[in-house]
Amino acid sequence: MNIIITPLGTVAPYSKDNKNCSGYLIEYDGFKYLFDCGNGVTRLMNFPNDLINLRIFLSHLHPDHYGDLSALAQTALVYKRLGYINDKIEIYAPDKDKRDESIYFPPTNPYNHDDWGEYKTITKPSIDFEYLKNFEQDYPIIINGYQNLDYINNDLKIKSLQVPHQISAYAFRIDTNVGSIVYSGDTGFCKKIIAFAQNCDIFICESTFLKGQIRLENTHLYAHEAAMIAKEANVKQLILTHFWPELDKNLYLKEAKEIFENTEVAEEGKKLILRR
């Protein structure tokens, strides 16, 4: 038995050309598991087949990680009416009702690149989960809220880990008899993800920034930080993702490989197969 991993989206915060926002489809033992459903992800899905035995896991509720869910829900409705699918699609999403959000104030001199302005963090109600929950009224989907996910389907197990981000965000670890995969979602640098990814076969990790770029908060990783985590966690292979759409992915690859040699960059549609 194999695990097939298909990157459907690898960039953020917007899709461009043939690059979509975050989404990874994992096929195992007759089931499909979609981790994040960002803008453009459905362009690479095989309908109606990919709607059958599909489960969706959202790492957090920023639009570039769930923006194509409305298209998928509408597609599911059409194929259900046509008789191609029978069961509702299960979707798992963080359901904390508060979110920390940074409010930015513009710089005094916008032409001075050293002056990035200021920001403060406020806590406000999250409307995203309720927005998705309303989909249940019209579409063949079920929205399940989670804060500490512990999902089991035969020998496949999925656990979540809350990671640093502007809002409630989670990494996922998928363990099976064939092997293990960790998907970071959006995360800042933290030691607990090193333990979470320990000894996994494939570590799919965000790498938003490159050396020299300014990161205002610890809510995303530099490519070399993703490599540091992979090395400390003793993973077998690192797959970088969550790139700026305008930049050459090879820049991220070069930075990471200086620390962790067995690194690749995710490419839309390029399948990874995990075998035992």
Put simply, whether the predicted model's pTM sits higher than 0.85 gets the answer: yes
CATH number at residue 22: 3.60.15.10
| Pairing, β 272-274 against β 169-175 | unpaired
| Pairing, β 150-153 against β 141-146 | unpaired
State how far the Cα of 23 lies from the Cα of 82, in Å rounded to an integer.
26
Q: Is the pLDDT of residue 135 over 70?
A: yes
Q: How many domains does the chain have?
A: 1
State how far the Cα of 144 lies from the Cα of 89, in Å rounded to an integer.
11
The token pair that represents 166 in the structure block:
């502007």
Q: Are 222 and 197 in contact (CB under 8 A)?
A: no
Q: Is the pLDDT of residue 197 over 70?
A: yes
The token pair that represents 45 in the structure block:
């899905």
Q: Are 166 and 100 in contact (CB under 8 A)?
A: yes
Average pLDDT, the chain: 92
**What integer pLDDT is reported at residue 107 of this predicted model?**
57
Q: Where are the alpha helices (DSSP H) in the chain?
A: 63-66, 69-81, 128-133, 192-196, 223-233, 249-257
66-86 pLDDT, tens digit per residue, is: 999 999 999 999 999 999 999
168-186 pLDDT, tens digit per residue, is: 999 999 999 999 999 999 9
**What integer pLDDT is reported at residue 249 of this predicted model?**
97
**What integer pLDDT is reported at residue 127 of this predicted model?**
83
| Mean pLDDT across 20-38 | 98
Strand partners, 100: 123
Angle at 224 between CA 222 and CA 230, to 5 degrees: 110
**What integer pLDDT is reported at residue 174 of this predicted model?**
98
Domain with 14 in it: 3-274
Burial of 27 (0-12, 13-18, 19+ CB in 10 A): middle
